[in-house]
Amino acid sequence: MHVPPIPHLTAEDPELATLVEAEATRQHDKLRMIASENYVSEAVLEASSTVLTNKYSEGYAGKRYYEGQQLIDPIETLAIERAKSLFGVEHANVQPYSGSPANLAVYLAFLQPGDTVMGMSLPMGGHLTHGWSVSATGKWFNPVRYAVNRESGRIDLDEVRDLARAERPKVIFCGGTAVPRTIDFPGFAEIAREVGAVLVADIAHIAGLIAGGAHPSPVGHADVITTTTHKTLRGPRGAMIMTTAAHASAIDKAVFPGLQGGPHNHTTAAIAVALREASTEEFGRYAHQIVANAAALAAAMTERGFTLISGGTDNHLILADLTGKGIAGKPAAQALDRAGIELNYNTVPYDVRKPFDPSGIRLGTAALTTRGLTEQHMPQVAAWMDEAVTAALKDDEATIDRIAGEVQDLLAGFPMPGYRAA
| Cis peptide bond N-terminal to 4, omega within 30 | yes
Catalytic one of 226, 228, 243, 313: 228
Q: Is 316 annotated as a binding residue?
A: no
Nearest to 91, CA basis, from 99, 80, 77, 75: 80
For residue 357, indicate whether it is catalytic: no
Q: Are 183 and 146 in contact (CB under 8 A)?
A: no
Set 181, 231, 325, 362: catalytic member? 231
| Residue 254 DSSP symbol | I
Catalytic, out of 10, 37, 56, 390: 56
- CA distances 294 to 191, 291, 343, 374, Å, are 30, 5, 14, 10
Phi, psi (5° rounding) for residue 96?
-55, 140
Active site residue 202: yes
CA angle 374–375–378, rounded 5-degree value: 100
Please indicate if the annotation marks 410 as binding a ligand. Answer: no
Check if 244 is active-site.
no
Distances (CA, A) of 18 to 2, 6, 352, 383: 10, 10, 42, 34
237 is catalytic: yes
Catalytic site residue from 76, 202, 252, 314: 202
* 231 catalytic per annotation: yes
Q: Is 336 annotated as a binding residue?
A: no
Q: Per-residue b/e over 249-268, b at no fewer than 16 CB within 10 Å?
A: ebbbebbbeebbebbbbbbb
Does 153 appear as a known binding residue? no
Set 237, 304, 353, 420: catalytic member: 237
Integer Cα distance of 193 and 190 in angstroms: 5
Of 42, 58, 190, 401, the active-site residue reads 58
Distances 314 to 2, 214, 344 between C-alpha atoms, Å: 34, 9, 20
| Distance in angstroms (rounded) separating the CA atoms of residues 286 and 367 | 11
Respond yes or no: is residue 56 known to be catalytic: yes
- Specify binding-site residues for (6S)-5,6,7,8-tetrahydrofolate: 122, 126-128
Residues carrying an active site annotation: 56, 58, 202, 228, 231, 237
- Specify binding-site residues: 122, 126-128
